[in-house]
Amino acid sequence: MVAVFSNLNSNKLALLAFADAVPHGPKLNWTNATNICTSWLGIVCDSNGTRVYAVRLPSVGLTGPIPPNTLGRLESLEILSLRLNRLTGSLPSDILSHPSLNRLFLHHNNFSGNIPTSFPPQITVLDLSFNSFTGRIPSSIQNLTRLTSLKLQNNSLSGPIPNITFSRLRNLNISYNFLTGSIPSSLKTVGGGVVITLLVVLLLYCCLKKKRRNRDEARVRKGKSSLGEMGEKPMEEFGSEVQGIEDNKMVFFGGCSYNFDLEDLLRSSAEVLGKGSYGSAYKAALDESVIVVVKRLKEVAVGQKEFEQQMEIIGRIDPHPNVVPLRAYYYSKDEKLLVYDYISTGSLLTLLHGNRGASRTPVDWEARVTIALGAARGIAHIHASGGPTFVHGNIKSSNIFINDDGEGCISDSGLALLVNFPPSTSRYTVGYRAPEVLEIRKHTHKSDVYSFGVLLLEMLTGKQPLQSPGREDMVDLPKWVQSVVREEWTAEVFDIELMKFHNIEEEMVQMLQIGCISDSGLALLVNFPPSTSRYTVGYRAPEVLEIRKHTHKSDVYSFGVLLLEMLTGKQPLQSPGREDMVDLPKWVQSVVREEWTAEVFDIELMKFHNIEEEMVQMLQIGMACVVPAQDMRPTMDEVVKMIEEVQVSDSETRPSSD
Ligand SMILES: Nc1ncnc2c1ncn2[C@@H]1O[C@H](COP(=O)(O)OP(=O)(O)OP(=O)(O)O)[C@@H](O)[C@H]1O
C-alpha cells in the first residue's frame, strides 16, 4: 500500500512540476488537493488507480518546451498526447528513452530541430506531423520494429527517404516535406494494409496498397485462462442456518440425475460463495463427485403459487449448452432454496477482474468473443424458449460462467421476477440496468439486450459498471465509452478553424454523424454517366464509381462528403499533390478509430495485435444494444448473428495454429 501511494504521489509531483513549468490555458485543473486519477484533466490511471498510464492534453494551450524530469518521471506512462498545443524546442531525453511509452502524439505543435535518433523502444504510434522539424529522417528509425503508425508530414524534413523496412507498419505519412530522391524499394513493397503517403519535391508518389493483412504475429493464444478460484471462504454448517423446514419437499427437474434429498443437503458442509442481490450462494459438497450451488433467496416477493409457476417455466426451458440449468428448488414459508450445478471454472466477473496481480493470465480476444457469443446464444435461447414475457432480468458478469468449451453460460434465469424490485439496492446490478427498467421497473427482452450490451462493453473495456464509493466514474459504461470516443477524436478531425469557437462540439459531432451515415445504400439506380474529373471523384459513392449510375442515395453520399469537407476543412480531391485527401469518409473513420481505440479498450487487449477491426465491430454491437430507445435495440437473435460475423471474420483472417 505504501509503495502504491508513493508511486502515485511521485507521479503527482512530476505532473505538477510539468504544469508549473509550462504556461497553459485555464482548462488544466491540476491541483495538489484533488485526486489525480479521478479529477485531473487528461490523466488516465490504470484500473487499480495506482499509476498514471496516459496523459492526454490536446488543445490546452501548452506553450514552450517540455521540461526534462517532469513527464519523463511517470514510470508507467504508455500514452502521451500533447497534440494541438504550442510546444517548442526539442524533446527531452527522458521522454525519448522512456521504457513503457508506446503511443506518442505530438502533432500540431512547433517542435523544431532534427528528428531524434532514438525513441522509446516500445513505441507503436509516433505522430510528429505538423511541426517544424528539419534535417533528414534518421535511418535509426528503422530500429523501431514495433511501429504500426508513423506520421511525419508537414514538417521541413529534407534529404532522401531512408531505405527502411517496417514489418508491422500500417500507416506511414511523410508528405509535405522537402524530401528528395526516389522512393526506396522497401517502401514500395510494404504491404499489410499499409497506407503510405509520400510527397517529395522531385517525385510525387502516392502509394496506396492493400493486401491481406499480415496476421502471423497476431496468433493470440487461445485462452481458457486459468481462472483462479473464488477466494477461500469460511466453511459453514449450512444446514444449521436454514430455518423452518416443513417437510422434505424438494422438487427436482426432469433430466436431473441427482440423488439426494434436503436432509443430505443440510448435512453437507458448505462454503459461502458470496452474497448477491437475491440472497447468499453456497457451494455444497454432497460427496466427492456431487458438488452443487445452493442459493437461499431472500426478499421473495411472490406467494407460493406464483413461485411454483415461475419455477415450472424455468424448468421447462430446454437444456442448452449456454444456460446453467436449475436442478431443484425448495419452498417453505421461511426458506426458499434453489440448486444449481457448481461450475468450477468460475464466473466472467472473476475472469475479467479477479487476480490482477503479476500471475494473471490475460484473457485474449478469441476467448472473449467465444464467451460473449456463448452468453448471447444462451440469452437468445431463454427468450425463445420462455416466451415473450420470460426475461432473464439480471444479466451481469457474475451470472455468466465459462463452460468446458470456453463459452459463456448464463445463470439465474428468471429470478428477477421472483424478488422485490429492485432486488435490494444492489450496487452491483444498477450499472447493467436499461434506463426504462430503472424508470418503470419492468423487464423486457429489450432490457435484457441492454444489459448484455453493458456486459459486452465491460468485456471490451475491462471496466466494471459498478456503483461503489471509490468508482463512481465507472457507473455508466455506455456514457463513459461515448464520452471518451468523442473527446479523443473531435480535436483531430475537425477543421482547426472550427476549434476556435467554443461550445459547438455537440453540434459538430452530430453533423459529422450525419455525414458519416450517408456513407451507405445502393438503391433506385438511374442512368447518369459520371465525368472523369478528378475534382468530382472524391464525392462519388462507391457504387457510382463501380457501376456508373447515380441514385438519390448516391446524391446523399456526395452530400455527406460535402458535410465532411465543411467540418474538416479538407478537400476530397484526387490530384497529384493531395492523394491523402481523396477519401474523406475513410479518412474521418481512420482518425476516429486510431484516436480512441487505445483509450477505450481493455489495456490487456492492446497486447494482442491486429484485432482492432474486430474490437471496433464488437464495440459497435455493444453500443447498438445500449441505445436508450428500446425499439432501436436489436433482438438477442440479431445480436447472436452479429457476434457470429465477428467470429467468422476473425477466423477467416487469422492463420490456423498449425
Ligand atoms: N453455479 C455456480 N457455480 C459456481 N459459482 C457460482 C454459481 N452460482 C453463483 N456462483 C458465484 O457465487 C457468488 C454469489 O452468486 P449470486 O448469484 O448469489 O450473487 P451475484 O451473482 O453476485 O448477484 P445476484 O444475486 O444479483 O445474481 C458469485 O460470485 C457467483 O459467481
Ligand 1: residue of 300, 398, 417, 466 to mutate (most ligand atoms within 8 A of CB) is 398
Q: Alpha-carbon distance 484 to 596, whole Å?
A: 7
Look up the ipTM and state it. 0.96
Same domain, yes or no, for 440 and 492?
yes
The ligand 1 atom at the shortest distance from the C-alpha of residue 399 is 21
Q: Which of 88, 87, 146 is nearest to 119 (CA)?
A: 146
- Identify whether 35 is part of a domain: yes
Q: Alpha-carbon distance 512 to 514, whole Å?
A: 5
- Identify whether 403 is part of a domain: yes
- Identify whether 225 is part of a domain: no
What pLDDT does 628 receive? 79
- Would you place residue 172 in the very low, low, confident or very high pLDDT band (cuts 50, 70, 90)? confident
* Final residue in a domain of this structure, among 454, 485, 518: 518
What pLDDT does 364 receive? 85
Backbone angles phi, psi at 284, to 5 degrees: -120, 125
**Single-letter amino acid, residue 122:** Q
- Identify whether 531 is part of a domain: no
Same domain, yes or no, for 550 and 424?
no
Percent of the chain's residues with pLDDT above 70: 71
* DSSP per-residue string spanning 453-504: HHHHHHHHH-------GGGGGGS-HHHHHHHHHHHHHHHHHS-TTGGGS-S-
- Identify whether 205 is part of a domain: no
Give the pLDDT confidence of 585-613 residue by residue, as tens digits: 777 766 666 666 666 777 777 777 677 77
What pLDDT does 656 receive? 41
Same domain, yes or no, for 583 and 510?
no
Residue 205 has pLDDT above 60, yes or no: no
Same domain, yes or no, for 271 and 125?
no
Mean pLDDT of 182-194: 57
Q: State how far the alpha carbon of 558 is from the alpha carbons of 27, 157, 600, 620, in Å.
A: 38, 36, 31, 25
Go through the chain and tell me how many residues it has.
658
Mean pLDDT of 238-261: 62
- The answer to whether 162 touches 135, Cβ cutoff 8 Å, is no
Same domain, yes or no, for 29 and 111?
yes
Does the beta carbon of 155 lie inside 6 Å of ligand 1? no
Q: Report the domain count for the chain.
A: 3
Instruction: Name the least confident of 2-16, 157-171, 570-584.
Output: 570-584
- Identify whether 242 is part of a domain: no
Does the beta carbon of 402 lie inside 6 Å of ligand 1? no
Same domain, yes or no, for 554 and 457?
no
Give the pLDDT confidence of 374-415 residue by residue, as tens digits: 999 999 999 999 889 899 999 999 999 999 899 999 999 888
> Where is mean pLDDT largest: 133-137, 171-175, 569-573, 578-582?
133-137
User: Residues annotated as binding site for ATP?
Assistant: 295
Q: State how far the alpha carbon of 238 is from the alpha carbons of 243, 297, 526, in Å.
A: 11, 14, 76
Task: Name the DSSP letter for residue 418.
Answer: T
Does the beta carbon of 295 lie inside 6 Å of ligand 1? yes
Does the beta carbon of 411 lie inside 6 Å of ligand 1? yes
What's the whole-number average pLDDT of the chain? 75
Tell which phi-psi region holds residue 424, choosing left (phi > 0), alpha (psi between -120 and 50) or beta: left
| pLDDT higher at 450 or 226 | 450
* Final residue in a domain of this structure, among 123, 158, 191: 191
Same domain, yes or no, for 558 and 500?
no
Same domain, yes or no, for 481 and 560?
no
For residue 354, how far is its CA from the centre of ligand 1 (angstroms)?
14
Residues of 493-517 as b/e, b for ≥16 C-beta within 10 angstroms?
A: bbeeebbeeeeebeebbebbeebbe
Which grid cell sits at 415?
Answer: 429470478
* Final residue in a domain of this structure, among 518, 552, 571: 518
| Residue 18: Cβ within 10 Å count | 23
**Single-letter amino acid, residue 290:** V
| CATH code at position 458 | 1.10.510.10
* DSSP per-residue string spanning 120-180: -TT--EEE--SSEEEEPPPGGGGG-TT-SEEE--SSEEEEEPP----SS--EEE--SSEEE
Same domain, yes or no, for 500 and 570?
no
Same domain, yes or no, for 364 and 498?
yes
Task: Name the DSSP letter for residue 416.
Answer: G
- Identify whether 217 is part of a domain: no
pTM, whole model, 2 decimals? 0.56
Per-residue HEC secondary structure of 581-603 comes to HCCHHHHHHHHHHHHHHHHHCCC
Residue whose entry in the numeric block shows the C-alpha cell 509503495: 3
| CATH code at position 86 | 3.80.10.10
What pLDDT does 487 receive? 60
Residue nearest to atom 31 of ligand 1 (CA): 398
Q: CA Rg, the chain, in Å?
A: 28
- Identify whether 579 is part of a domain: yes
Per-residue HEC secondary structure of 139-150 comes to HHHHHCCCCCEE
Q: In what order do the strands lie in the sheet with 86-89?
A: 63-64, 86-89, 110-114, 132-135, 156-160, 178-180
Query: Which structural domain range is residue 626 located in?
Result: 542-649
Same domain, yes or no, for 509 and 549?
no
Backbone angles phi, psi at 204, to 5 degrees: -110, 120
Same domain, yes or no, for 318 and 171?
no
Does the beta carbon of 432 lie inside 6 Å of ligand 1? no
User: Residues annotated as binding site?
Assistant: 295
Q: Cis peptide leading into 67, omega within 30 of 0?
A: no
- Would you place residue 422 in the very low, low, confident or very high pLDDT band (cuts 50, 70, 90)? low
Tell which phi-psi region holds residue 154, choosing left (phi > 0), alpha (psi between -120 and 50) or beta: left
